[in-house]
Each structure stands twice: as C-alpha cells, then as structure tokens.
Structure 1
C-alpha cells in the first residue's frame, strides 16, 4: 500500500494526528513533530494545519509548498479564501457555521453538538484519501502537488440528506432519531429500554406491519412512504404499542428475522461487551476492560481490513490502463474502471469520489432503479439526494437473479480495477460473485465490501442502516440532548464508513506495480467505534447552544470550562432578547467566543458555502443540478464534478448471440428483483 512513504505530521488540529495514524495503518512511516521539518531529513508528505500555526510556521509551510518537492496537505477550518479564511475555528464552531449542528437534536429542542469531533474525523479521512491519490500520481506520473482540505467543506458534504429541501426553499428541521425521508425510523421504547428500528422500502414496511399486528397500521395514511413520513407523529406511537410488549433483545432478534434493521443503544464504555465489537476487536475490548478508555485506545481499532482476494497465488500481468499516458492535468484515477453495486449513501459516496478523481464508474442498479431515486424532493424522476451522491457515474439496470444479467456483470468485472458494494454480507456470493469467483474472473480486482457489522460478524444475517450503527457504535451515547441519546442529523456512520473505504481503495491503487487482487472489508460499526473511542480519549472543551431572538448561537470560552458558567454569562447578557449578531458581539466584549448556529436553508445565502462548497452539474438533457464540490483540493490533478446521471440504462447491451453491442436510450434488462441490502 503506502510502504516506504515517509510522512511528517506537524500541526495542532486533531485532524492532523488522526490523518497520520490512518496513513500509518495503510503502511506509511509516520513522524510527529512540534517544530516542523528538520534539515537533512526528507519526507514525502507533510501534513499541517496552517490556520493554527504561528507566523514563522506559516512562512515555513509556504516555502514547502513553493519548493514543489514534497506533497503538502494543509487541513484548515475554512481554507485560504472567503470571509472566514484564516480563522482557527474549533470543530464545534465548524459544526455550527456549516449547518451540521442545526440538523442534530430533537424537533422541539435546541441544536446539539455532535459528541465526537466529526469535522476533524471527516477531514482526517478525506485528507488521507487525497494524500493516497497524490502519492499515486507522484509514483506513476512524477507530479508533486499540494492538497487543501477544509473542515467546513467536510461538514457541508455530510448534509446530503438535508440540502435537497433547501434547494427547493423548503425546511427540514431537526428530526431527532427520525429520518426526514423514511418512516418508520426512530428510537422506540421497549419493555426494558430502547431500540432503533429503520425501514426504507415498502417490503420492510409490510414485514413490520405483519409482525406488529397493530390494526391501526392498516390506515390509508400509512399506505405509501411519502404518506408515512407525512403522518409520522401518528405512526410512531402505534409502532411503540408493539415494541413496548417486547424486551430490546427480543425486538432486535425479531427484526433480524424479518430483515429489518434494528439495534440497541450501546455506550462507549459498553463497547467492550458488545458481541460484534468484542469478536472483531478482542484486544481492544480486553484493554478497555482492564484499563478503561485512554488517548490511545482508538488506535487498537482499524477502520479497514485488507487481505488477498483469494488464497491462490496469482500474478497477473499489468493491464493496459497501467501503461497508458494521460495528460498532466488528468485526474489521479484516469484509466481506472470501477463497478459500484449499492444504494443510499455508503458505496455511492465511494463511487462518487472515485469518479471525481477521474475513474470510470459504472453503477449497477436494480431494474426499477435505486430506491433513493424516488425520495422527495427531486425532478424528472430523480431525487436531489440521489443526484448529490451519484455524480459522474454511468448507470445500468441489471437483474442479478437472471443468468444473462450476471453474465453481463462478469464481462464488466473482467477488466475492472475496483468493485465496491454495500449489499448484505453474502448477498453477492449467493449470486455467484464470492471472493473466489471474483478472483477467477479478474485476478487483479480490488473488491471492497462495506456492511454494518463486517464479514466476520456476530450478526451475519442482520441488516443495518446508519442510525442503527450510530447506536451500536457509541456515537449516540456521546451525542445527547438533555441526557437523551440522539443520532447525528447527518448520516454519520454511513459517511465515515464510505470515507474509510475510499481511503483503503486509494491506498491500494497507489501501488502501480500491484499484481494480486485485494479484498477490503469495511465494518461501519468499526469506524463508528473508532471515532467514539477517539473522542472519549480526547475530550473536547464544553460549549453551549444559546437561544437568541432569531435562532441559536454556539458559545465557547477557554476560561469557562463548564456549560453552567457559559449559560450564566449568556443569561446575564440577555442573549435571548438579542439577535444572533448582537449576542455574538456582546459575548466577544466579555471574552467569550460565539458563532451563529446556521440553519441549513441559510447556507443558500452564505457566501463561503456558495463559493467553496456548492457547484452545478448537467444531466443528459443539459439541465443544471446543484451538486457539491469535493472538500479536498489537489492543486495539479483536481477532482472534478461534471454530470448528474439520468435513469439507469444499458449502454452496451448483449444481444441474443452473446455479442456486446452499443445501445442508446433507457433500455432496462428484464426482471423486477431487488438487490439484497
């Protein structure tokens, strides 16, 4: 992977240290320094955070960038431009100004700070992936470049569930443990605690309704997904009349039996006793039992696992792609072919970034399209959510339960570099595409499987959605509103899992002489637990969301470490009767830092968001769609967002004689079978 790559981590931000530890896991040699580079010691990569550096340190960073001999990755809060440029904003402040904090919490409560430094963690994962891409470019094409990563961009990129409403001038407020586009989806009381239950399809709804045996669930108001979301305040109490008759364990087992994602809320300290965590991370669990959680506990948990694709020793020749010559400004993954089989957020996020980095990404959808295509709001049969997560992909509809369609997939895989999927573990193998079969089809393939609990799992048949993983990975335990656990408004576990997969794939692709195939296993629970353990071992200073006349502000102070003292100062200054701008000014005079908690719709008027985050792409008809830029910038081989896919189509169909031919138009292959999520 990144063997023999020498990396210097020199910066104050948590993201710098986290980025370095992730790259160390990928094989790099890491040096941590307080005083910067040492004369006579060369590094391939230097990771910095210039917005928290002294004037002298900034000068050294500028010299490193100008010299052009070293890949310099600069992780800052808001980047070198814009009205907020240069400010040493904290993770919580970035959560506030990006709209991320506005999405977390309950509908009738205040915004809630995410209990882990989410923007730092996300920035570390994206920075690691961008560095791996830059290393690939340097090794294959001799180009050295700089990288800029912003916490603000990472935070805004996580808002794909909430931005669609803002695009149509609608408002999606805080939804607590609900989902703005799916129902039933919430934390429900049981006879001995709470359980998270998440559904997204009509089939899952029918199964819940069948086992719950609550007559009122047959009400026409719940006949469709859109109507269930509209009447969720009536629906949730009815679901709870069923869940309260069961223990949490009983309800979890029943949901697993019927294929519905569900699980309990696990505390961070309780991770060591959680069966799947203990199975996958026995040493970390024993360490927690013996010593508790400290600043290094998180390092015992890997966010990805890699191994040989098959047990057979295979040494296949390099493909033609590896030998091609590309323009100097071509993306880092020019010539790479990717097959994506997945829905919703996780695998699509990986495919989106690989496509932006220059790969040809072919997305395989069910015959009637991905479920998320139909989520409101949208236009022309495609939701804004789907568009945000699937830019620059070719989309093809296949029924993988049909022999002809499976044969077509084999042809696609034969010369592919990467296969990424987030189906239920074992689902692809049942269709004839297990690791051994994939190795026979393509000995050099990188096969990345993303799932809630991993391949080696205590729950081999349990489905999982983001909210369940947040609950079972410790994220909800750390994120609380008045003591009650609440999920991140953003799909945090999905996003972090996808970022971990992106890093692993890019680190492998950075080996230009790679011969044998690779298997990458991502457990979203692993990644969530890694972030929760880091946060528990590195507690952040307290802050407070304070109501004002026109919204909320977030306040912090080095001198006032507890929330009660902050609240007393806010009350003394009568912040509740002031606008956010006036309250921020009054608190500044008292030596207390404050920023507005920006509502997601307000981002549409935010100059920094419009300039640094929002962009547009065209669909096949030439219409423009709002999309998001990448939160990392490679100076010489940038990631680019260009297009929004239309409905799934066959661009190279197979005729009756088995010959491949070009086709145009929305030609869907036969069958109605869904992919097994």
Structure 2
C-alpha cells in the first residue's frame, strides 16, 4: 500500500529567509514575532541590557520567568540599548538586511532616536515596520500609555461581559494583546506580500483598541441601523437558548450551545422536554433566548442529576453540542488535545524539559515547530552582532558602556 501523505519538501519552514527584529515588549508585538518564528522566520529579540520586563512578569521557577519561555520561544536573544548612539548605530546595521521590525514604543520614540521609518527605509526600502501601540500613531490619545486592559474596556468587550446585574468584566488574561498579536502577524504577512509586487516596504500601524472591536461582531452596524446596544447576559446569548454553563452531579461544569436549530431540538429531546419544540417561539433562536429561564431550568435539572462523564456521553450520542469546562490540567489529559499535539515539550537550557502551547495551526507541508524556549539573556549577542562586523573587542567596549 502506498503512503497517501505526500513527502514534505526539504525546506519545511514556510517563512525561512524572513528576518525579523523584535524590539517590542508586553505583549502583542512580541507574540506576533513568536508566531512568525514558529513558522521559520529568523527572529532576533533585542532587549535592554537590564532584561526585558517579560522576564519578571508573572510566574517564575528558580528565578526564571515562565512567561518569557513561551513568549520568546524560537527567537535569538541579544541585548542592545537603543537609547544610546552606539546602540542606534548597531541597530541601523541590523536593519540593512532585515525584512521586518516590530516595535511598541510610544509614538515619536523611534523618531527621537533617529530610527523613524523615514531613516530606516532610507537604509532598507523593503523594510516593513510594524508599530503596535494602545491607540495608534495619531489622534488625541496617541501619546497615552496603552495596555490590553484599556483596549478591553474601550473596545466594548467589558461592557457586554458579566452578569446583567453585575459590573463590566475584564478577562483574566491578555485577550486584547492576543487578538492584536494575531492581527499584527497577519498584517505583516500582508505587507510582505505587497512588497513582492511593489518592491517597497511600508508601515503597519496597529492600535490595540481596534482588533478586539472587530471580533465582537455586528455591534457597530446594529447600533448604526437600529440604535440598539448589546447588554450583559452572563453566559447566555441574545441569539439562542439554551446556551449556558451547567453544574453536574459530581460538582463539575459543562457548556451547552444551540446555535443551530436542529441541535436545540436534539437537546430538548435528550433532556426529556420535547414539548418545547412544538412551541411557536422555539423555531427562532432569538425567541428561544427570550425563554431562557425555562429552557435553562429544564436543561440544568437534567444535567444536575448526572456526572460530567454521563452528560458528555449522552450529548455525544444524541449529536448535541456540549463541552466540559476545563482548566489547564484537563487540557494536559484530554485525548483530543493530545491527538492535535496542542501542547509540546522541549528542552530548556535553564529548566530542563518544559511544556507549553504548540504552534497554533497545522500546515501539511510546512507545519511549523517549537525548536527552543525563550533563551537566557544575551545568549546570542556575540553570534548575531558578529555577523554585522562587531568583533569581541568592540563587543567588550559596548558592554563596558552598558550598550549590550
């Protein structure tokens, strides 16, 4: 029998040959660079000689930051102080053969250092400069410090998240930064594709307040056309019901979705209440949502009498949509995540084997790979800068001045 899987090409890294300089931190810009590195881009992380703030952000083990290990994976790590004339000179040398620079300084900072796009594109006309800031490069808020939390508030996300009688709710993780990172990576690839036609690079201006608004759905057009504002509904939906989280007999939780009419009907048959299906209002998702109290009561009571395993098995047999509410320890054990290879384990020079998220999607020929975790500070400084003519003596002089 022949193998139906075609052989992968010798070069199985989609972005091989793309050189990226990551001078951003906390968190959207660096994560965008991580995504590019996962698929083969040559990414060099430039951090202040005192260390990037991510190294001390969040959990650590034996003084080693764990967030850094994930966020700086597949990157070379060098130290370089861009606020010094010597550091700026070194950076200009590096820009000469770079494809992408990713930065997130406040607008005007690079220009103050003589490293604005006008200066950088004069060195390298094909350069793509990705500028990731809270509020963008212009407008009345451009100079404000901007973080993902502010974007989650101003985008409209927090206003619709939480219980109806409770306060607006912020996510307990970097949601706006994550969505912005994905958007930035897409924007960079779009600019590189345009460069293939024009031969010119360009500036990518990403304001973190915008991508999250994009994924919130039709709120803007609904307000524009109907004057309606989406309200907080907790775990319920204004568009369908039953849709909620429900507690099982063994004290665990499951989530149920009925976005499709056929699934809603299967759920009500499964929980022993087929009579609801014949109600005139049941044929519309929005109308079902107006009867969420009684539908939740029926579904919740059925689930409460069964264990999580029993509930998920019954829903699966009925081809109804349910999922257990996991914490990360469950993800480590789940067979579907294992089949997908969602988590990967690699050796780290400081911590030994470490496990974290794998690349976020699979390509059949150029699949991407996590090759190493975030490196120790300055691990690659001598190697990387040596390629730009900086020998050991000059490197020592730069180190003495605090430039590297």
Tell me which interval the TM-score lies in, with the shorter structure as reference length.
Answer: 0.7 to 0.9
Cα deviation for residue 586 of structure 1 reads 6.1
1:450 touches 1:523 (CA, 8 Å); kept in 2?
yes
Secondary structure, counterpart of 1:632 in structure 2: coil
In the TM superposition, residue 376 of structure 1 has moved relative to its aligned partner by: 4.2
Report what 2:333 is aligned to. 605
1:567 maps to what in 2?
296
Correspondence 1:88-237 to 2 at 5 A: none
Is residue 245–residue 255 contact of structure 2 (8 Å, CA) maintained in 1? yes
Spell out, residue by residue over 1:629-677, the C-alpha distance to the aligned partner (whole angstroms, 9 max, x if none). Answer: 222211112212101132221224879xx951269x999846779xxxx
Q: 1:515 to 1:365 in 2, by over 3 A?
A: same
Distance in 2 (CA, whole Å) between partners of 1:525 and 1:376 is 23
Name the structure 2 match of 1:524: 208
- Give the direction of change, closer, same or farther, for the CA distance of 1:380–1:463 in structure 2 (3 Å limit): same
**CA contact under 8 A between 2:72 and 2:375: conserved in structure 1?**
no
Q: 1:619 Cα shift? A: 2.9
1:5-25 deviation line (CA, Å, top 9, x unaligned): xxxxxxxxxxxxxxxxxxxxx
Q: 1:328 to 1:508 in 2, by over 3 A?
A: farther
Question: Which string of whole-angstrom CA distances, capped at 9 and with x for unpartnered residues, describes residues 300-322 of structure 1?
Answer: xxxxxxxxxxxxxxxxxxxxxxx
Asked if 2 retains the 8 angstrom alpha-carbon contact of 1:504 and 1:520, the reply is yes
Structure 1 counterpart of 2:96, from 397, 414, 426:
414
Matched, 1:505 2:162: no
Evaluate the alpha carbon distance shift between residue 500 and residue 653 of structure 1 in structure 2; reply closer, same or farther with a 3 A threshold. closer
Deviation at 1:391, TM superposition (A): 0.9
Name the counterpart of 2:244: 544
| Contact 2:25–2:54, Cα closer than 8 Å, also in 1 | yes
TM-align CA RMSD:
3.3
Give TM-score scaled by structure 1 length. Answer: 0.47
Q: Is the 8 Å Cα contact of residues 399 and 669 (structure 1) preserved in structure 2? A: no
Aligned residue pair count: 348
Cα pair 1:648 1:668 within 8 Å, conserved = no
Equivalent position to 1:632, from 357, 361, 369: 361
Q: Return 5+ residue gaps in structure 1 as ranges.
A: 1-65, 69-142, 146-326
* Equivalent position of 2:234 in the other structure: none
- Counterparts of 1:51-70 in structure 2, within 5 Å, are none
Give a deviation string over 1:529-548, Cα, whole Å, max 9, x none.
Answer: 21224467697534111122
SS in structure 2 of the partner of residue 447 of structure 1 = strand
Equivalent of residue 645 in structure 1, options 374, 393, 402: 374
- Secondary structure of 1:595's counterpart equals strand
The equivalent residue for 1:278 is none
Q: Render the CA deviation track for 1:408-454: whole Å, top value 9, x for unaligned.
A: 11111111111011222222222221121111222211111011111
| Structure 1 pair 621–388 and aligned structure 2 pair: CA distance change class (3 A) | closer
TM-score after normalising by structure 2: 0.76
Change (3 A) 1:622 1:593: closer
CA contact (8 A) 2:68 2:374 kept: no
Task: Decide which of 135, 145, 148 is 1:466's aligned counterpart.
Answer: 148
Contact 2:247 2:300 in 1 (8 A): no
Say yes or no: does 1:487 pair with 2:170: yes
